[in-house]
Amino acid sequence: MSSNFPLSHDELVKITKDFPTPFYIYDEKAIRENVREFIKAFSIFPEFREYFAVKACPNPYILKILAEEGCGTDCSSLPELMLSKMVGLNGEFVMFTSNETPASEYQYAFAEGDIINLDDITHIDFLKKSLGKLPETICFRYNPGSAKHGCNSIIGNPKESKYGLTREQMVEAYRIAKENGVKRFGLHTMVASNELNPDFFVDTAKLVFDLVLEVKEKTGVKISFVDLGGGIGIPYREDQKKVDLNYVAKKIHELYENLIVPAGLDPMRICFECGRPITGPYGWLVTTAIHEKHIYREYIGTDSCMADLMRPGMYGSYHEITVSGKENAPKDHVYDVVGSLCENCDKFAIQRPLPKIDRGDLIIIHDAGAHGRAMGYNYNGKLRCGELLLRENGEVKQIRRRETIDDLFATLDLDGVKNFE
Protein backbone atom coordinates (compact mmCIF):
# COMPACT_ATOMS: atom_id res chain seq x y z
CA MET A 1 0.00 0.00 0.00
CA SER A 2 1.35 3.43 -0.94
CA SER A 3 2.75 5.59 1.83
CA ASN A 4 0.75 8.68 2.70
CA PHE A 5 1.98 11.85 1.04
CA PRO A 6 3.49 13.97 3.82
CA LEU A 7 2.19 17.37 2.69
CA SER A 8 -1.26 18.92 2.71
CA HIS A 9 -2.71 20.37 -0.48
CA ASP A 10 -2.04 23.94 0.69
CA GLU A 11 1.56 23.06 1.61
CA LEU A 12 2.14 21.48 -1.77
CA VAL A 13 0.66 24.45 -3.63
CA LYS A 14 2.97 26.75 -1.68
CA ILE A 15 6.02 24.67 -2.62
CA THR A 16 5.16 24.85 -6.32
CA LYS A 17 5.43 28.65 -6.16
CA ASP A 18 9.17 28.28 -5.54
CA PHE A 19 9.71 24.99 -7.36
CA PRO A 20 7.44 24.59 -10.40
CA THR A 21 6.39 21.08 -11.36
CA PRO A 22 7.45 18.52 -12.27
CA PHE A 23 9.71 17.52 -9.38
CA TYR A 24 10.52 14.62 -7.13
CA ILE A 25 10.19 15.10 -3.39
CA TYR A 26 11.58 12.77 -0.70
CA ASP A 27 10.62 12.52 2.97
CA GLU A 28 13.77 12.52 5.13
CA LYS A 29 12.03 11.57 8.37
CA ALA A 30 10.25 8.61 6.80
CA ILE A 31 13.42 7.38 5.08
CA ARG A 32 15.37 7.51 8.34
CA GLU A 33 12.66 5.67 10.26
CA ASN A 34 12.35 3.09 7.49
CA VAL A 35 16.05 2.25 7.25
CA ARG A 36 16.26 1.98 11.04
CA GLU A 37 13.46 -0.57 10.93
CA PHE A 38 15.28 -2.46 8.17
CA ILE A 39 18.57 -2.61 10.06
CA LYS A 40 16.87 -3.49 13.34
CA ALA A 41 15.21 -6.54 11.77
CA PHE A 42 18.59 -7.99 10.80
CA SER A 43 20.41 -6.95 13.97
CA ILE A 44 19.89 -10.51 15.28
CA PHE A 45 23.00 -11.48 13.31
CA PRO A 46 26.46 -11.06 14.86
CA GLU A 47 27.33 -8.70 12.01
CA PHE A 48 25.00 -7.06 9.49
CA ARG A 49 25.33 -4.30 6.91
CA GLU A 50 22.96 -2.80 4.40
CA TYR A 51 24.74 -1.54 1.27
CA PHE A 52 22.20 0.85 -0.26
CA ALA A 53 21.96 0.36 -4.03
CA VAL A 54 23.07 3.75 -5.32
CA LYS A 55 21.42 3.10 -8.69
CA ALA A 56 18.02 3.35 -6.98
CA CYS A 57 18.41 6.98 -5.93
CA PRO A 58 21.84 8.45 -6.77
CA ASN A 59 21.64 11.73 -4.91
CA PRO A 60 24.37 12.59 -2.38
CA TYR A 61 21.86 14.05 0.08
CA ILE A 62 20.00 10.75 0.21
CA LEU A 63 23.27 8.81 0.46
CA LYS A 64 24.45 11.05 3.30
CA ILE A 65 21.23 10.45 5.23
CA LEU A 66 21.64 6.69 4.84
CA ALA A 67 25.34 6.83 5.72
CA GLU A 68 24.42 8.59 8.96
CA GLU A 69 22.09 5.69 9.70
CA GLY A 70 24.91 3.15 9.25
CA CYS A 71 24.45 2.09 5.64
CA GLY A 72 27.16 1.50 3.10
CA THR A 73 26.66 1.72 -0.64
CA ASP A 74 26.44 -0.81 -3.45
CA CYS A 75 27.95 0.70 -6.59
CA SER A 76 28.11 -0.38 -10.22
CA SER A 77 30.03 2.49 -11.85
CA LEU A 78 32.75 5.07 -11.28
CA PRO A 79 30.31 7.97 -10.69
CA GLU A 80 28.51 5.90 -8.04
CA LEU A 81 31.85 5.20 -6.34
CA MET A 82 32.61 8.92 -6.46
CA LEU A 83 29.22 9.81 -4.97
CA SER A 84 29.95 7.42 -2.12
CA LYS A 85 33.29 9.08 -1.47
CA MET A 86 31.59 12.51 -1.48
CA VAL A 87 29.51 11.49 1.53
CA GLY A 88 32.43 9.93 3.37
CA LEU A 89 31.97 6.29 2.38
CA ASN A 90 34.77 4.05 1.16
CA GLY A 91 36.61 0.90 2.16
CA GLU A 92 34.45 -1.69 3.89
CA PHE A 93 31.38 0.51 3.46
CA VAL A 94 31.46 0.35 -0.35
CA MET A 95 30.69 -2.75 -2.40
CA PHE A 96 31.72 -2.39 -6.04
CA THR A 97 29.45 -4.84 -7.87
CA SER A 98 29.91 -4.06 -11.53
CA ASN A 99 30.06 -6.04 -14.75
CA GLU A 100 32.10 -5.58 -17.93
CA THR A 101 34.15 -3.12 -15.89
CA PRO A 102 37.03 -1.07 -17.37
CA ALA A 103 40.40 -1.28 -15.66
CA SER A 104 40.31 2.38 -14.59
CA GLU A 105 37.22 1.78 -12.45
CA TYR A 106 38.81 -1.20 -10.71
CA GLN A 107 41.87 0.95 -10.06
CA TYR A 108 39.76 3.69 -8.46
CA ALA A 109 37.90 1.21 -6.23
CA PHE A 110 41.18 -0.45 -5.21
CA ALA A 111 42.76 2.91 -4.32
CA GLU A 112 39.79 3.67 -2.07
CA GLY A 113 39.96 0.26 -0.40
CA ASP A 114 36.44 -0.57 -1.61
CA ILE A 115 35.33 -4.20 -1.75
CA ILE A 116 35.59 -5.46 -5.33
CA ASN A 117 32.93 -8.00 -6.27
CA LEU A 118 33.91 -9.86 -9.45
CA ASP A 119 31.26 -10.92 -11.95
CA ASP A 120 33.22 -13.56 -13.89
CA ILE A 121 36.09 -15.99 -13.36
CA THR A 122 38.05 -14.38 -16.23
CA HIS A 123 37.97 -11.08 -14.35
CA ILE A 124 40.45 -12.45 -11.80
CA ASP A 125 43.26 -12.23 -14.33
CA PHE A 126 41.92 -8.94 -15.72
CA LEU A 127 41.87 -7.43 -12.22
CA LYS A 128 45.37 -8.69 -11.45
CA LYS A 129 46.73 -7.13 -14.63
CA SER A 130 44.84 -3.89 -13.93
CA LEU A 131 46.19 -3.54 -10.39
CA GLY A 132 49.47 -5.43 -10.58
CA LYS A 133 48.15 -7.75 -7.89
CA LEU A 134 44.88 -8.89 -6.39
CA PRO A 135 43.35 -7.05 -3.40
CA GLU A 136 43.57 -8.70 0.02
CA THR A 137 39.75 -8.85 0.06
CA ILE A 138 37.73 -10.09 -2.88
CA CYS A 139 34.17 -11.18 -3.52
CA PHE A 140 32.57 -13.25 -6.27
CA ARG A 141 29.04 -13.06 -7.65
CA TYR A 142 27.17 -16.36 -7.82
CA ASN A 143 24.64 -17.22 -10.53
CA PRO A 144 22.73 -20.30 -9.29
CA GLY A 145 21.22 -21.07 -12.70
CA SER A 146 18.47 -23.69 -12.55
CA ALA A 147 19.11 -24.22 -8.82
CA LYS A 148 17.07 -21.08 -8.14
CA HIS A 149 13.36 -21.24 -8.89
CA GLY A 150 10.48 -18.78 -8.75
CA CYS A 151 12.32 -15.71 -10.06
CA ASN A 152 9.99 -13.01 -11.38
CA SER A 153 10.09 -11.59 -14.89
CA ILE A 154 11.91 -8.36 -13.96
CA ILE A 155 15.30 -9.97 -13.40
CA GLY A 156 14.46 -13.16 -15.27
CA ASN A 157 15.69 -16.73 -15.24
CA PRO A 158 19.23 -16.90 -13.75
CA LYS A 159 20.32 -19.23 -16.58
CA GLU A 160 19.53 -16.45 -19.05
CA SER A 161 21.25 -13.75 -16.98
CA LYS A 162 24.55 -12.19 -17.98
CA TYR A 163 25.60 -11.93 -14.35
CA GLY A 164 27.75 -14.09 -12.12
CA LEU A 165 29.72 -17.34 -12.00
CA THR A 166 28.37 -20.88 -12.09
CA ARG A 167 28.66 -23.05 -8.98
CA GLU A 168 31.65 -24.92 -10.41
CA GLN A 169 33.34 -21.66 -11.40
CA MET A 170 32.79 -20.22 -7.92
CA VAL A 171 34.77 -23.04 -6.29
CA GLU A 172 37.58 -22.67 -8.83
CA ALA A 173 37.61 -18.87 -8.46
CA TYR A 174 38.20 -19.06 -4.71
CA ARG A 175 40.99 -21.57 -5.26
CA ILE A 176 42.69 -19.27 -7.78
CA ALA A 177 42.24 -16.19 -5.59
CA LYS A 178 43.68 -17.98 -2.57
CA GLU A 179 46.72 -19.10 -4.56
CA ASN A 180 47.23 -15.47 -5.60
CA GLY A 181 47.44 -14.21 -2.04
CA VAL A 182 43.87 -13.07 -1.33
CA LYS A 183 43.33 -13.19 2.44
CA ARG A 184 39.64 -12.41 2.91
CA PHE A 185 36.65 -13.55 0.88
CA GLY A 186 33.04 -12.65 0.27
CA LEU A 187 30.21 -14.33 -1.64
CA HIS A 188 27.41 -12.45 -3.38
CA THR A 189 24.28 -13.24 -5.33
CA MET A 190 21.43 -11.19 -6.80
CA VAL A 191 18.49 -13.12 -8.20
CA ALA A 192 15.46 -10.99 -7.41
CA SER A 193 13.86 -7.66 -8.23
CA ASN A 194 10.78 -6.26 -6.52
CA GLU A 195 9.97 -9.67 -4.99
CA LEU A 196 7.24 -9.76 -2.32
CA ASN A 197 7.41 -13.43 -1.30
CA PRO A 198 9.46 -13.49 1.95
CA ASP A 199 10.35 -17.17 1.55
CA PHE A 200 12.13 -16.37 -1.72
CA PHE A 201 14.88 -14.62 0.26
CA VAL A 202 15.12 -17.44 2.78
CA ASP A 203 15.57 -19.92 -0.07
CA THR A 204 18.28 -17.70 -1.57
CA ALA A 205 20.13 -17.66 1.76
CA LYS A 206 20.00 -21.46 1.89
CA LEU A 207 21.58 -21.68 -1.58
CA VAL A 208 24.30 -19.24 -0.58
CA PHE A 209 25.04 -20.90 2.76
CA ASP A 210 25.28 -24.31 1.09
CA LEU A 211 27.83 -22.89 -1.35
CA VAL A 212 29.78 -21.30 1.51
CA LEU A 213 30.14 -24.76 3.06
CA GLU A 214 31.12 -26.33 -0.24
CA VAL A 215 33.78 -23.70 -0.86
CA LYS A 216 35.27 -24.32 2.58
CA GLU A 217 35.25 -28.10 2.08
CA LYS A 218 36.84 -28.04 -1.38
CA THR A 219 39.27 -25.11 -1.07
CA GLY A 220 39.75 -24.40 2.61
CA VAL A 221 38.54 -20.85 2.04
CA LYS A 222 36.45 -19.40 4.87
CA ILE A 223 33.93 -16.88 3.64
CA SER A 224 33.95 -13.77 5.86
CA PHE A 225 30.78 -12.14 4.51
CA VAL A 226 27.87 -12.97 2.25
CA ASP A 227 25.84 -10.41 0.33
CA LEU A 228 22.35 -11.79 -0.28
CA GLY A 229 21.64 -9.11 -2.85
CA GLY A 230 18.63 -6.87 -3.00
CA GLY A 231 15.31 -7.46 -4.67
CA ILE A 232 13.04 -6.96 -1.67
CA GLY A 233 9.96 -5.42 -3.20
CA ILE A 234 7.44 -2.86 -2.04
CA PRO A 235 3.65 -3.02 -2.35
CA TYR A 236 2.91 -0.71 -5.27
CA ARG A 237 -0.73 -1.83 -5.33
CA GLU A 238 -3.30 -1.51 -2.57
CA ASP A 239 -3.87 -5.28 -2.43
CA GLN A 240 -0.18 -6.14 -2.04
CA LYS A 241 1.50 -6.86 1.29
CA LYS A 242 4.77 -5.45 2.56
CA VAL A 243 7.58 -7.99 3.04
CA ASP A 244 7.84 -9.02 6.70
CA LEU A 245 11.50 -8.25 7.34
CA ASN A 246 11.43 -9.76 10.84
CA TYR A 247 10.19 -13.03 9.38
CA VAL A 248 12.91 -13.03 6.70
CA ALA A 249 15.62 -12.25 9.27
CA LYS A 250 14.37 -14.90 11.70
CA LYS A 251 14.26 -17.64 9.05
CA ILE A 252 17.69 -16.77 7.66
CA HIS A 253 19.06 -16.67 11.20
CA GLU A 254 17.79 -20.21 11.76
CA LEU A 255 19.74 -21.31 8.67
CA TYR A 256 22.78 -19.45 9.97
CA GLU A 257 22.59 -21.27 13.32
CA ASN A 258 22.11 -24.66 11.67
CA LEU A 259 24.68 -24.33 8.87
CA ILE A 260 27.21 -21.56 9.43
CA VAL A 261 27.82 -21.83 13.17
CA PRO A 262 28.53 -25.61 13.21
CA ALA A 263 30.96 -25.12 10.29
CA GLY A 264 33.08 -22.78 12.42
CA LEU A 265 32.35 -19.77 10.21
CA ASP A 266 30.69 -17.62 12.87
CA PRO A 267 30.80 -14.62 12.88
CA MET A 268 30.10 -14.24 9.16
CA ARG A 269 28.72 -10.86 8.15
CA ILE A 270 25.30 -10.89 6.49
CA CYS A 271 24.70 -8.13 3.96
CA PHE A 272 21.89 -6.85 1.77
CA GLU A 273 22.07 -4.30 -1.04
CA CYS A 274 18.50 -3.08 -1.11
CA GLY A 275 17.44 0.19 -2.68
CA ARG A 276 13.72 0.02 -3.42
CA PRO A 277 12.46 -0.89 0.10
CA ILE A 278 14.63 1.84 1.64
CA THR A 279 13.62 4.92 -0.38
CA GLY A 280 10.95 3.68 -2.79
CA PRO A 281 7.83 4.39 -0.71
CA TYR A 282 9.09 7.81 0.41
CA GLY A 283 9.63 9.58 -2.89
CA TRP A 284 6.90 11.06 -5.09
CA LEU A 285 6.80 12.58 -8.56
CA VAL A 286 4.62 15.69 -8.54
CA THR A 287 3.30 16.91 -11.86
CA THR A 288 0.56 19.24 -13.11
CA ALA A 289 -2.38 18.41 -15.36
CA ILE A 290 -2.03 20.78 -18.32
CA HIS A 291 -4.21 19.17 -21.01
CA GLU A 292 -7.28 16.98 -21.44
CA LYS A 293 -8.23 14.97 -24.51
CA HIS A 294 -11.54 13.34 -25.38
CA ILE A 295 -11.34 10.73 -28.15
CA TYR A 296 -11.74 6.97 -27.86
CA ARG A 297 -10.54 7.32 -24.28
CA GLU A 298 -10.33 10.14 -21.80
CA TYR A 299 -6.79 11.46 -21.42
CA ILE A 300 -5.10 13.76 -18.94
CA GLY A 301 -1.83 15.26 -20.16
CA THR A 302 0.81 16.29 -17.62
CA ASP A 303 3.87 18.52 -17.63
CA SER A 304 6.00 15.46 -16.86
CA CYS A 305 6.64 12.43 -19.03
CA MET A 306 8.30 9.04 -19.31
CA ALA A 307 11.69 10.80 -19.38
CA ASP A 308 11.12 11.53 -15.68
CA LEU A 309 9.54 8.18 -14.70
CA MET A 310 10.03 5.38 -17.19
CA ARG A 311 8.93 2.38 -15.10
CA PRO A 312 5.27 2.37 -16.23
CA GLY A 313 6.22 2.67 -19.91
CA MET A 314 9.19 0.32 -19.74
CA TYR A 315 7.85 -2.39 -17.45
CA GLY A 316 4.12 -1.74 -17.40
CA SER A 317 4.61 -0.99 -13.71
CA TYR A 318 1.81 0.28 -11.52
CA HIS A 319 2.13 3.45 -9.44
CA GLU A 320 -0.70 4.74 -7.29
CA ILE A 321 -1.88 8.23 -8.28
CA THR A 322 -3.65 10.82 -6.18
CA VAL A 323 -4.96 14.24 -7.13
CA SER A 324 -3.90 16.76 -4.52
CA GLY A 325 -6.89 18.25 -2.74
CA LYS A 326 -9.22 15.59 -4.15
CA GLU A 327 -8.06 12.62 -2.08
CA ASN A 328 -11.57 12.02 -0.74
CA ALA A 329 -13.45 12.77 -3.94
CA PRO A 330 -15.23 9.89 -5.68
CA LYS A 331 -13.20 8.09 -8.34
CA ASP A 332 -15.91 8.37 -10.94
CA HIS A 333 -13.79 9.12 -13.99
CA VAL A 334 -11.51 6.79 -15.95
CA TYR A 335 -8.37 8.25 -17.50
CA ASP A 336 -5.14 7.44 -19.22
CA VAL A 337 -2.67 9.79 -17.50
CA VAL A 338 0.03 10.57 -20.03
CA GLY A 339 3.13 12.63 -20.75
CA SER A 340 4.37 14.54 -23.77
CA LEU A 341 7.01 12.12 -25.07
CA CYS A 342 6.62 11.09 -28.70
CA GLU A 343 5.99 7.46 -27.69
CA ASN A 344 2.58 5.87 -27.12
CA CYS A 345 3.90 3.98 -24.09
CA ASP A 346 4.40 7.32 -22.31
CA LYS A 347 1.61 6.64 -19.83
CA PHE A 348 1.71 6.87 -16.04
CA ALA A 349 -1.67 5.16 -15.72
CA ILE A 350 -3.96 3.33 -18.11
CA GLN A 351 -7.74 3.28 -17.69
CA ARG A 352 -7.35 4.36 -14.06
CA PRO A 353 -10.41 5.30 -11.97
CA LEU A 354 -9.69 8.75 -10.54
CA PRO A 355 -11.56 11.84 -9.39
CA LYS A 356 -12.43 14.37 -12.06
CA ILE A 357 -9.16 16.07 -13.01
CA ASP A 358 -9.12 19.70 -14.09
CA ARG A 359 -6.33 21.60 -15.77
CA GLY A 360 -4.02 22.94 -13.10
CA ASP A 361 -4.59 20.07 -10.68
CA LEU A 362 -1.49 18.73 -8.99
CA ILE A 363 -1.04 14.99 -9.57
CA ILE A 364 1.05 12.93 -7.16
CA ILE A 365 2.64 9.70 -8.42
CA HIS A 366 3.50 7.48 -5.47
CA ASP A 367 6.31 5.04 -4.67
CA ALA A 368 8.75 6.80 -6.99
CA GLY A 369 11.63 7.12 -4.55
CA ALA A 370 13.66 4.35 -6.19
CA HIS A 371 14.39 3.83 -9.89
CA GLY A 372 12.47 7.01 -10.63
CA ARG A 373 14.57 10.11 -11.28
CA ALA A 374 17.56 7.75 -11.45
CA MET A 375 16.32 6.21 -14.70
CA GLY A 376 15.55 9.53 -16.37
CA TYR A 377 16.83 10.34 -19.84
CA ASN A 378 16.79 13.04 -22.52
CA TYR A 379 14.98 11.44 -25.45
CA ASN A 380 13.00 14.00 -27.46
CA GLY A 381 15.26 16.60 -25.87
CA LYS A 382 13.29 16.37 -22.64
CA LEU A 383 14.80 18.10 -19.63
CA ARG A 384 14.86 15.97 -16.50
CA CYS A 385 13.12 17.37 -13.46
CA GLY A 386 14.71 18.35 -10.16
CA GLU A 387 14.59 16.79 -6.70
CA LEU A 388 13.44 18.22 -3.38
CA LEU A 389 13.98 16.98 0.16
CA LEU A 390 11.39 17.47 2.89
CA ARG A 391 13.59 17.86 5.97
CA GLU A 392 12.62 16.58 9.40
CA ASN A 393 12.00 20.18 10.53
CA GLY A 394 9.53 20.79 7.69
CA GLU A 395 11.95 22.77 5.52
CA VAL A 396 11.98 21.92 1.82
CA LYS A 397 15.43 21.92 0.23
CA GLN A 398 16.27 21.59 -3.44
CA ILE A 399 18.84 18.79 -3.71
CA ARG A 400 19.00 18.70 -7.50
CA ARG A 401 17.91 21.52 -9.78
CA ARG A 402 15.96 20.78 -12.91
CA GLU A 403 17.92 20.56 -16.14
CA THR A 404 18.19 23.47 -18.55
CA ILE A 405 18.62 23.76 -22.28
CA ASP A 406 22.23 24.76 -21.62
CA ASP A 407 22.76 21.48 -19.76
CA LEU A 408 21.33 19.53 -22.66
CA PHE A 409 23.54 21.26 -25.23
CA ALA A 410 26.69 21.39 -23.06
CA THR A 411 28.40 18.46 -24.78
CA LEU A 412 27.68 19.68 -28.30
CA ASP A 413 30.24 21.65 -30.32
CA LEU A 414 27.91 24.55 -31.00
CA ASP A 415 30.69 26.91 -32.10
CA GLY A 416 32.18 24.38 -34.48
CA VAL A 417 28.90 23.62 -36.20
CA LYS A 418 28.57 27.23 -37.33
CA ASN A 419 31.59 26.75 -39.58
CA PHE A 420 30.91 23.15 -40.50
CA GLU A 421 30.74 22.45 -44.25
- Per DSSP, what are the bridge partners of residue 283? 26
Residues 287 and 270 in one domain: no
Residues 137 and 227 in one domain: yes
Residues 299 and 380 in one domain: yes
- Per DSSP, what are the bridge partners of residue 291? 301
Question: For residue 218, what are the contacts with CB-CB under 8 A and spacing of at least 6?
Answer: 171, 175
**Does residue 419 fall inside a structural domain?**
no
Give pLDDT, residue 156. Answer: 54
Residues 39 and 78 in one domain: yes
Nearest to 275 by CA among 1, 59, 25: 59
Residue 306 belongs to domain with CATH number: 2.40.37.10
Share of the chain above pLDDT 70, in %: 97
**pLDDT digits 0-9 by tens, 56-98:** 999 999 999 999 999 999 999 999 999 999 999 999 999 999 8
Last residue of a domain, one of 227, 256, 279: 279
**pLDDT digits 0-9 by tens, 41-59:** 999 999 999 999 999 999 9
Residues 293 and 220 in one domain: no
Computed on alpha carbons and rounded to an integer, the radius of gyration of the chain in Å comes to 23
Residues 348 and 374 in one domain: yes
Give pLDDT, residue 158. Answer: 73
Residues 226 and 304 in one domain: no
> Which residues are known catalytic residues?
342
**pLDDT digits 0-9 by tens, 128-160:** 999 999 999 999 999 998 776 554 444 456 777
Give pLDDT, residue 162. Answer: 81
Residues 390 and 402 in one domain: yes
**pLDDT digits 0-9 by tens, 354-369:** 999 999 999 999 999 9
Give pLDDT, residue 161. Answer: 75
**Does residue 12 fall inside a structural domain?**
no
- Count of domains forming the chain: 2
The average pLDDT across 266-270 equals 98
Last residue of a domain, one of 248, 279, 310: 279
Give the phi and the psi of residue 231 in degrees, each rounded to 5. Answer: 90, -5
Residues 143 and 169 in one domain: yes
Q: Contact 208/142 with Cβ under 8 angstroms?
A: yes
Q: Contact 267/225 with Cβ under 8 angstroms?
A: no
**pLDDT digits 0-9 by tens, 289-331:** 999 999 999 999 999 999 999 999 999 999 999 999 999 999 9
Residues 198 and 216 in one domain: yes
Residues 178 and 246 in one domain: yes
**Does residue 418 fall inside a structural domain?**
no
Look up the domain containing 298 and give its range: 281-409
Residues 262 and 381 in one domain: no
Q: Contact 369/320 with Cβ under 8 angstroms?
A: no
